[in-house]
Amino acid sequence: MDEEVARSFGNFKFQDCTSNQAIAYGELSKPKHAELLETSIADAMNFKKFETIPDIRMGQLVIEIAMVRLALKIAPHISGRVHIQTNPYYSYSTEKTVLNALRIERIFRFLSPEFDTSRICIKIPSTWEGMMACRTLELKGIATLATTLFAPCQAVLAAEVGCTYIAPYVNQLKVHFQPGFIDPAKLLEFCASIQRYYKAKGVSKTKVLPASLTSTEEIFALKGVDHITISPGLLEQLAKPGSVPSTPSLIDKTGSAVDPLADFTYFKTSYLNDPATYRLEFTRDRKGASEEKLTQAINIFCDMQDKLELLVHARAHLWKDDE
């Protein structure tokens, strides 16, 4: 969400820009965005005059507006979509997630009536409830991304509900928050297997967009994937002469030895009407590791949401009743 990054690479125009509560906190805590935060506080006051917004504190609304403002700042420098993640505290509520997404779309219209809202993509954690929210939103014509995805059953369900993207995490989220931690079970091959599975099953809408990469080697191991999330630091490494590693692509791996359905052999091809089976298979996946990684990610994003609210409170002295 740093427009300076998009500007710094000259003639390259990036396809999409991601965000989440951690990225938003990293940007909004910078002194250069103090004015944007102050403006977002005023925007929230005005927005509430015209919109009925149940069950949301003013601080939460300010954060959503500030995230949209960051997206609007970077939108002219990219093609494709701007991605906004819903409040992680709603991860286990379909209703609240849907309302959050619809509110985000209204905020875009409120702040920039001329903005093409088809460029909005709503990121939602890949809980069962989150997936059902994706289904509702996609039926309303709003693009969604099922994020923090770690298991085959999640990938199957995401395609069933019609997600525009999925974001399987190569590394569990804490690699970015716990110094020295290295994920002992990276999901590079899993990302490749999802794309092979989607192709074998004729899934054309849902694109595989791996995230949480930590090295250029991981990027090139996924060369040929539908889409990919690359952080500013890794973009800078890739821009240096001689930076291309010799890592072979897992996506391009072909031949009779490659079974596109290998990772999905023991999973159903449909979960939409069988939540009990889905929940059990997710709980059992990789002996509980996938569920643990999802829970960890939601906790980290909730922690970052808390930090954002503290940041807003430090600047706001304009409301009392609803805080």
Residue 86 contacts by C-beta under 8 Å, 6 or more apart in sequence?
A: 97, 100, 101, 104, 122, 123, 124, 125, 133
Whether residue 107 contacts residue 64, with contact meaning beta carbons closer than 8 Å, is answered with: yes
Q: Strand order of the sheet with strand 120-125?
A: 14-17, 78-85, 120-125, 143-149, 165-168, 207-208
Tally Cβ neighbours within 10 Å of residue 205: 11
Whether residue 249 contacts residue 224, with contact meaning beta carbons closer than 8 Å, is answered with: yes
Report helix, strand or coil for 87: coil
Angle between helices 128-139 and 275-284 (to 10 degrees): 130
Active site residues: 123
Tell me the torsion sign for CA atoms 157, 85, 292, 165: positive
